[in-house]
Chain A
Amino acid sequence: MTQPFPFLLLPHLWSSRNRARRRQKGDLLRAGMFGGVGMAVCGALFAGAYWLTTKLAVYEEFGDYLLRLGLSWLFLTFLAFLAFSGVVTALSTFFLSDDLRLLMGAPVSAGRLFMARFTRTVGQASWMVIIFMAPILLAVGIASCAPIVFYFTAVLAVVPFVVIPVAIGAAMTLLLVNVLPARRARDLLMLASLMFAAAIVLTLRFIQPERLMRVENLPDITDFFATLQSPITPLLPSFWAGEVLFAGLQGAGDLLHGAALWTTALAFTVVLAAADRRWHFAGYSRSQEAPKARVTSLRLVDWLAHALPLSTVRRQLLVKDVKVFLRDVSQWLQLLPLFALVLLYLYNFSALDLERIPYMSGVIKNVYALVNLGMAGFVVATVAVRFVFPAVSAEGAAFWLVRTSPISMRDFLWSKFWTGLVPMVLFVEALTIAANEFMGVDPFLKVVASVAVVFMTFAMVGLAVGLGARYPRFGADPNEVAGSYGGVAFMILAVLYIIVMIVLLGWPSAMWLFSRVRNIRLSALREAMMAASFLLAIVLSIGTWLVAMRSGVRALDEMNR
């Protein structure tokens, strides 16, 4: 008796149930933290969407027009994300997932396997979009006093809307895995990431939202909306979904666009299933041909390592870490979306014309210098939790090699620290200087920020390395390590540290700027307190760095006992 395809999804459900029943140390903390952050984001989205919808409602027909445009744009943004996510997820679910070794060897028909994998791909690729979309649509519905049918319409529109781009993404993966030489699947991921990052930057560059801030450009606002509207053609599912929902808001039904959504989703699924039946096994077989993967020798790394004044042991540890990192494309390409966001961040600074806001521009600029410092801190924390914290765990099953060789754990851990620190300092320092330069921040704050960011990087990289050694998860995937108890603890401590640093640096900086703008002479006591505040920031940074490293070394030494 052949079981229907949802049977193939059971192990994942059972695994989740077992994980929930047998909680490990830190699971509740992690769930609480991620849940809390998620709820806060959803709450903010709800509040923002509610506020915007009520404001638009004031303008009646023009407001309706903007709301309609906004819905289409919302779906268009998610459409691009879902297609990209579909490519990446399908690569994993259809070709690289470990459980395929079990399922492909079992007498499971190609159709059943396809349906199970496609369901999983749609779920994995779209859950985040649905979580973000739900509060927005809920807020739009409540703010517009929409009838109950709107919410049913929303569900009926969103389901086929997510299936269509994910099916396109999965079809692209199927095609590329069959066309590209074997084991280029990871290169494909890199290509997709680059395309996605470039698409985000280009789209925003194309729209130039900063034009709205220029009063003399008011007549251009019509052009601005024309630009917004241009990619929205009646041929895109995002347009159909936007129209269906807009009709739902008015209490009407848009059967034409609803039918377009459902028939397209079903047609894409059927075509993809047929293509999968024809080409999946060939693609899966090719994707396993790992022994023939291309290897780059990375001689430059050897050359650079030899040029550095390092002991043989440290040099070899450095060469090994850098080569392992660079050869694992799936590792470093996770940095690309972050780089894209940083690029956008810098672009926004260069595009904002704050001189248009008289009196306030100076204050805003200098407040932004501190916001920028906080942002740089969060970038360090995010990169550190993903790449530096798992550094010890990444030794995995090969850690015996380090433990049995004549290297002290101190040397080993400090090597990890410097390997993580140098690229991070260079990157964050460049980011801070560039952002402050674009903003035209006061020279005093420029110096404070560029010095502070170095101390902050030392502290947070040290904290990540130290805690990573204290809570290692050998053999686990780096993503899992970052989300483990130690990883979450690191993030909490890093965020607290950043907040304290901003306060310790912000208060004396603000005092100094205030006294200069108002031409007020500061008392000796106040100056001493300001100096103490800066000093405290330095002591806190050095303390965090050294205490965490020492604790990490001790943990590794105790492991040997």
Chain B
Amino acid sequence: MIALERLVKRYGAFTAVDDVSLDVKPGEIHGFLGPNGAGKTTTLRMIAGLLQPTSGRIVVNGHDLATEPEAAKVSLGFIPDRPFIYEKLTAGEFLRFHGGLYGIDGTGITGRVHEMLDLFELRRWENELIESFSHGMKQRLVMSAAFLHRPRAIAVDEPMVGLDPRGARLIKDVFRRMSEHGVAIFMSTHTLEVAQEMCHRISIIQKGKIIAAGTVDEVRRMAGDGGDQLTAVFLKLTGGSSLQEIDEFV
């Protein structure tokens, strides 16, 4: 559903994404892991059509993003890490506008907006200005917008940041249900427990390159780690400060 073929992004001499290829199947939740600055957000912004790749190809639901950008974007819902929301609109107005961008017309939009507001527990705030929302509420509103047009694929950057346990539980449940309905979810996250709990497959990116990909078990075997926790595997693959080093600085 989301296919990346030899994707490269360079900023001058610096290569942020280096020859990345992967394929997210319908109904699959694919975790995209990596340390800070590894190239996760850059990859996601290219999939969303916000950044132009230096080379390579992005295909969403069979549509090449470079040659058929509108068809590809209709199939995709994007949830950025720092979303833009019109602060002076109400939640209802924002969702109606968002629906309009995806071609949902006047007759069908109200019912769908209410469904999404109900699903993300925001119905009470439908007519409140977004500027008065907490971070978690804004996050849920952005998710409502991303699912509003019934996308076939979702690209999401750090979905759990700033959410309370109830909100996090809700998002996990929604993602699972969407995946059961055949929606492909490509999710970047730092929360390894979330990846372990939810993802069918994961890819680990470091310095712009995919260094490991597969199911959690497959990646664990690749790292030669027999432990239960993904954290240990992640640190083994991407490196990290040893206790001795920390002691020296402290």
Contact = CB atoms under 8 A, between A and B. Distances in A.
Interface of A: 1-3, 7-8, 10-11, 14-16, 18-19, 22, 98-99, 101-109, 181-182, 281-282, 284-285, 288-289, 291-292
B11 A291 contact: yes
B84 A106 contact: no
A16 B11 CA distance: 38
Contact of B50 (A3, A14, A101, A109): A101
Given A22-B129, A107-B103, A14 B49 contact: no
B89 A11 contact: yes
A18 B100 CA distance: 19
The CB with the most chain B CB atoms within 10 A, among A22, A106, A288, is that of A106
Contacts of A291: 11
20 contacts: A1-B105, A11-B97, A16-B88, A18-B129, A22-B129, A101-B83, A102-B83, A106-B101, A106-B102, A107-B69, A107-B72, A107-B101, A107-B103, A181-B12, A182-B12, A281-B52, A285-B52, A288-B45, A288-B50, A291-B11
A19 B11 CA distance: 40
Contacts of A10: 97, 100
Interface string B7-18: 000011010000
Contacts of B48: 105
Nearest to A286: B52
A292 B103 contact: no
A281 B73 CA distance: 15
Given A107-B101, A107-B103, A19 B88 contact: yes
A99 B86 contact: yes
Interface in B48-75: 48-52, 69-74
B86 A105 contact: no
B89 A108 contact: no
Given A15-B86, A18-B88, A19-B88, A105 B97 contact: no
B11 A289 contact: yes
Nearest to B145: A102
Contacts of A102: 83-85, 98, 101
B5 interface: no
Contact of A3 (B86, B90, B100): B100
Contact of A105 (B50, B87, B90): B50
A106 to B, nearest CB: 4
A19 B131 CA distance: 11
Nearest to A101: B84
Nearest to A99: B84
B80 interface: yes
A8 B97 CA distance: 8
Contacts of B98: 102, 106
A161 to B, nearest CB: 32
B70 A18 contact: no
Interface string B192-229: 00000000000000000000000000000000000000
A10 B69 CA distance: 23
B23 interface: no
A104 B129 contact: no
Nearest to A289: B11
Given A10-B97, A281-B52, A292-B11, A2 B84 contact: no
A18 to B, nearest CB: 5
B93 interface: yes
Contacts of A109: 70
Which 6 A-B pairs rank lowest in CB-CB distance, beginning with the nearest?
A: A15-B88, A285-B52, A107-B73, A106-B101, A107-B70, A101-B84
Given A1-B105, A10-B97, A14-B93, A105 B73 contact: yes
Contacts of B73: 105-107
B78 interface: yes
Given A14-B88, A101-B50, A102-B85, 13 more contacts: A1-B103, A2-B103, A3-B100, A11-B97, A14-B86, A15-B88, A18-B88, A102-B101, A105-B49, A107-B71, A108-B70, A182-B11, A285-B51
The CB with the most chain B CB atoms within 10 A, among A8, A11, A16, A182, is that of A11
Contact of B12 (A7, A18, A103, A292): A292
